[in-house]
Amino acid sequence: MSTFSFEVKATDGAARQGVISTPRGDIRTPAFMPVGTAATVKAMLPEMVAGTGADIILGNTYHLMLRPGAERIERLGGLHKFMNWDKPILTDSGGFQVMSLAKLRKLTEEGVEFQSHVDGSTHMLTPERSMDIQRQLGSDIVMAFDECTPFPATEDQACASMEMSMRWAERSKTAFGSRPGYALFGIVQGGIYPELRRRSAEALQQIGFDGYAVGGLAVGEGQELMFSTLDETVPALPHDRPRYLMGVGKPDDIVGAVSRGIDMFDCVLPTRSGRNGQAFTRRGPVNLKNARHADDPRPLDEASSCPASRDYSRAYLHHLVKANEILASILITWNNLAFYQDLMADLRAAIGAGRLIDFAQEFNDLYQGSDIPVWT
């Protein structure tokens, strides 16, 4: 089996264009990972997701352990076979979902005991259990188990949370063991406190990971604080490993984070927006619920290679949304994922050509995304 590796092909300021190589295929960076939380990117066939240009998708330990169960997926040949996706998969460790979804959460040094939001059953998730579940799923990139520090948090609270996550990171590394061809990423925590972020980054590098994620952002702190936290955190991460900003995000967030040296992203925004009648375009988001689209014969983007963007009128999409037709979710989600993958391709090209600053300015001038809702 070939090994996991990362190569930076070009730089432009802090931004990098590169390739993550895995036995299941290459991941071109900067990369956006569509979220397939429960072994499906909602409203999309795997072939459609791949057709938008996605090299990798994300699944989730918390949701898959609850249903259908990691043991069942393992018996059925692993997550790739189960969902008919033959490219790389990254799985989140479940730490964020335990914080945000689970009921009656009890946090101890050992891990987190919680009640399922699905049926109320009690479960225990530890670094060791998270590593075992992700091994059963067969994901190519495994995330260390951490506590996602809530926002707002005092510096003392953020420090205690971060130090817990660092101890869990070490246990995750031990439990992961030696798995050639598979990768384990550590997660930097520390809230919005620069010194805590730097301490976390240093601690993770002493443990040693195949990649480094920045967690605990996009949780309500706003873009300015997110960017200033990245300004302090990213320079503390190694140059020769991928950098992943978890749960981000809005298109203008991605452009700003790429400019600061981030390589990987995921977010539910393009798919959840697709199910709620919001389409992304180069000129900003379009709310297809609005009556002004009822007689609009224009497509979302006549220049797009995506059929959903190019071949259906806004009037038709408005009709589908108002009629609550399933096809509305399919077409708008397809458009949105194509938009995100086109944005990533444009960012890679701009970095390669040494014109990222100009591209970012042109993008932000054209795209007015400040009214996009943020879902967690």
Q: In the chain, count of helices (H) and strands (E)?
A: 15, 16
Which sequence positions are flagged as catalytic? 92, 266
Runs of H (alpha helix) within the chain: 46-51, 61-66, 70-75, 79-83, 95-100, 127-137, 155-176, 194-207, 223-233, 251-259, 269-274, 307-310, 314-322, 326-353, 356-366
Task: Specify the amino acid at residue 355.
Answer: R
What phi and psi, each to the nearest 5 degrees, are found at residue 102?
-65, 155
Specify which residues 31 forms β-bridges with.
264
- Tell me the one-letter amino acid at 219: V
Separation in Å, CA 244 to CA 97, 178, 260, 294, 371: 18, 22, 12, 40, 25
CB of 155 closer than 8 Å to CB of 198: no
